[in-house]
Structure 1
Amino acid sequence: MTLLVDSLRLLRARVLFWITLAISALAAVLYLSIGFNPEGFSMLFGAVNVKNEMIRSGSEYAELFYLGIFSKFVVGLWLSWVAVGLALISCAPIFPDFMSEGSIGIPLSKPVSRLTLFFSKYVGALLFVILQVGLFCVIVFIAIRWRVGTWNPSIFWAVPLVTLVFSYIYSVVVLISVWTRSVLAAILAGVVIWFVAWLGQKGEEMLYMFSHPTGVMADVTAEQQQDALADMEKWHKVSVAGMAFMPKTGETMNVMDRLIVVGGKTGFSNSSFLAALFGQKDEDMNLDKAMARNSTFYVIGSSLGFEAVMLGLAALIFCRRDY
């Protein structure tokens, strides 16, 4: 507990912690500024008004639209990309600074195992994300009550999910930082793995959608369609095998859609949200099926397996190194 408190104090002492906290609060206030009126919805506390017959006060689509913005833009863009990126930059120096000469001697002289020291520092870094996302979700929780009129505690699922995404990438940062003691090398390695994982997931998602079409194309024979689908299915299986042991950052955030409560029902429909936003028909979209193509157990379990391997290697190097 003393080590965790010490890690929290070190994070609070970093200027980037307060900058990130302020930006998160500002983003939450911008979300709070979105409201509804009889003619449509408004932004920036009424400074900008948008007329929309479907998305307006009293409409059944108002809650769907408001929670859709939270799920697709706030969680999907801000929390899972910007906030996680800032957290990686802020937490990357923790292990190199801890392992520097003159810093690690005192903790090693205490009756605490090296493995306990290692995981205490690691969990302490996770507190950075938990505090940031927790504050954000509290403001969003109040905003949903004010704008939609319902208390929706399901939005707090964003806290463990964003923390999980951060932990996948941070495990790589920890391994490289313990191995090289270089903050820059650790950040670069984390960014590379993050980008490769995102690119692989998007490629596998596109192949899935191509191999599971919702309709048939004109001027294409049934035999040609069958051959094309067979090829797509083959390449999709290859991509699934390649992504099996990679961290699934995007898919972990997509789990939010399965857990959030909309209109008293658990589960968020991307098709319905886009239909309300752009006026497209639900049946014309294959997005929901693609988002739920893998089970929650597989998505999080395989990603935690990757993280366990990274942390295991990092802990082995940390515990066996001479200081």
Structure 2
Amino acid sequence: MRQILTIFWDSYRLLTAKKLFWVALGLSVLIGLIYASISFHEEGMSVFFGAYTLESGILNTTGPLAKYIYLTMFTDVLVPFWLGLFAIVLALLSVCPVFPNFLEGGSIDIAVSKPISRVTLFVSKYLSSLLFVAIQVFVFSLIVFVAFGLRMESWNFGIFWAVPLMVFVFSLIYCVAVLTAVWTKSTLLSLLMAFLVWGVSWGIQVAEGFIYRLAYTAPASGLTLDMGTGQTQISDEPQAVDSDLAKFHGLLKMVETPLPKTREATYLLKKKIKIDGRNLTQAGAFIQPVDDVERNQHMAEEDYDNRHSEFFVVGTSLAFELVILSIAGFFFVRKDY
């Protein structure tokens, strides 16, 4: 146990010694403070701690939308675009050299000579590399938690689900870099392979979501789209599902299944954060529909957000990661250093 703790402590020291770590942390704090500057009052909402005010009869402290909108800004904007994209890119740039540098002569020789198995050494080094994202997301989530609590007088601990979810998302990408590093000892190639797998899987997830909207969400909303002319018609009754689009979606889902679902795992946060017992995918509970068309749209959007079960997203992604890490661990254990 002492050797494992030493590995974690050394990894923490190496990460905090890098300027990139503090740049990312500073940006996280800055973006978190901008989020905290948004407030709701009786006349509407304001940003930058009252510098600009938007008068609204709906978006205010007495309206039902305040908590929902405040949290969806976090789950639908800040998490996917900052934590799920730019922060992960910064983390990859920072931690991708960890394994190639570790495998260089001298560092690895000392490590394998200690009374610790190579499997334990490999797993400990891998998990300790995730500290970069864990610290960044925790600080960011803490700012959001305090801001939401002070603004809304409601302390929602579901916000901290962002920490394990974003660490998991990063690990799905980073494991590819680790496998490449153990195989080639190249930092550049590790980084390129991680971005390649991330980009391919992300693109397939976007395509699957887009086709699902055409095949299922649009008809359920009462929307009919003529693919030939591009014309649309809206009805207050759900429409029939296009069988060809449904088959195409099924094919895309088959391709998507074995891949890491970084995008879908990020949006699981909407299911984990709840307001008055309802999660953020249940928009109809916070935004009252004015007619049947809007009610159908809310229901269709909720079905879209819940089209994949948590078990499917986490389970298949975890299986991908375990396979990649098993191969990397095998190479690490079998190599002569």
Q: 1:166 aligns with which of 138, 162, 170?
A: 170
Partner of 2:146: 142
RMSD of aligned Cα (Å): 2.1
Q: Which amino acid aligns with 1:51?
A: E
Residue 236 of structure 1 pairs with residue 243 of structure 2: no
Cα pair 1:204 1:236 within 8 Å, conserved = yes
Q: Where do 5+ consecutive residues of structure 1 fail to align?
A: none
Partner of 2:279: 267
Q: How does 1:36-55 map to 2 (within 5 A)?
A: 36-55=40-59
- TM-fit CA distance, 1:273: 9.7
Q: How does 1:23-38 map to 2 (within 5 A)?
A: 23-38=27-42
Per-residue Cα deviation, 1:242-269 (whole angstroms, up to 9, x for no partner): 011000011111111111012x123103
* Counterparts of 2:282 and 2:10, CA distance in 1: 42
Residue 199 of structure 1 pairs with residue 179 of structure 2: no
Q: Which amino acid aligns with 2:204?
A: G
* Counterparts of 2:45 and 2:51, CA distance in 1: 11
* Counterparts of 1:182 and 1:321, CA distance in 2: 16
Cα pair 1:64 1:273 within 8 Å, conserved = no
Per-residue Cα deviation, 1:78-110 (whole angstroms, up to 9, x for no partner): 111111111111110000010011211111111
Q: Percent identity?
A: 39
Residue 16 of structure 1 pairs with residue 29 of structure 2: no
Partner of 1:304: 318
- TM-fit CA distance, 1:57: 2.1
Q: Which amino acid aligns with 2:272?
A: L
- TM-fit CA distance, 1:52: 2.4
- TM-fit CA distance, 1:150: 0.4
Q: Any idea what SS the aligned residue of 1:19 has?
A: helix
Partner of 2:96: 92
Name which of structure 1's ranges 34-43 and 296-305 shifts more when overlaid on structure 2.
Answer: 34-43
Partner of 1:249: 262
* Counterparts of 1:217 and 1:319, CA distance in 2: 57
* Counterparts of 2:265 and 2:116, CA distance in 1: 34
Per-residue Cα deviation, 1:272-305 (whole angstroms, up to 9, x for no partner): 59969xxx93533532211210110110000000
Cα distance change, pair 143–216 in 1 and its aligned pair in 2 (3 A): closer
* Counterparts of 2:21 and 2:224, CA distance in 1: 52
- TM-fit CA distance, 1:164: 0.5
* Counterparts of 2:160 and 2:223, CA distance in 1: 40
Q: Where do 5+ consecutive residues of structure 2 fail to align?
A: 227-231, 233-238
Cα distance change, pair 272–188 in 1 and its aligned pair in 2 (3 A): farther
- TM-fit CA distance, 1:270: 6.5
Name which of structure 1's ranges 159-168 and 33-42 shifts more when overlaid on structure 2.
Answer: 33-42
Cα pair 1:251 1:291 within 8 Å, conserved = no
Q: Which amino acid aligns with 1:249?
A: T
- TM-fit CA distance, 1:202: 1.1
Partner of 1:75: 79
* Counterparts of 1:149 and 1:259, CA distance in 2: 20
Aligned pairs, number: 315
Q: 2:106 aligns with which of 102, 105, 126?
A: 102
- TM-fit CA distance, 1:218: 7.9
* Counterparts of 1:62 and 1:183, CA distance in 2: 46
Residue 117 of structure 1 pairs with residue 115 of structure 2: no
Cα pair 2:161 2:272 within 8 Å, conserved = yes
Q: Give the TM-score, by structure 1 length.
A: 0.92
Partner of 1:283: 296
Q: Any idea what SS the aligned residue of 1:132 has?
A: helix
Q: Which amino acid aligns with 1:265?
A: G
Name which of structure 1's ranges 169-178 and 1-10 shifts more when overlaid on structure 2.
Answer: 1-10
* Counterparts of 1:218 and 1:4, CA distance in 2: 55
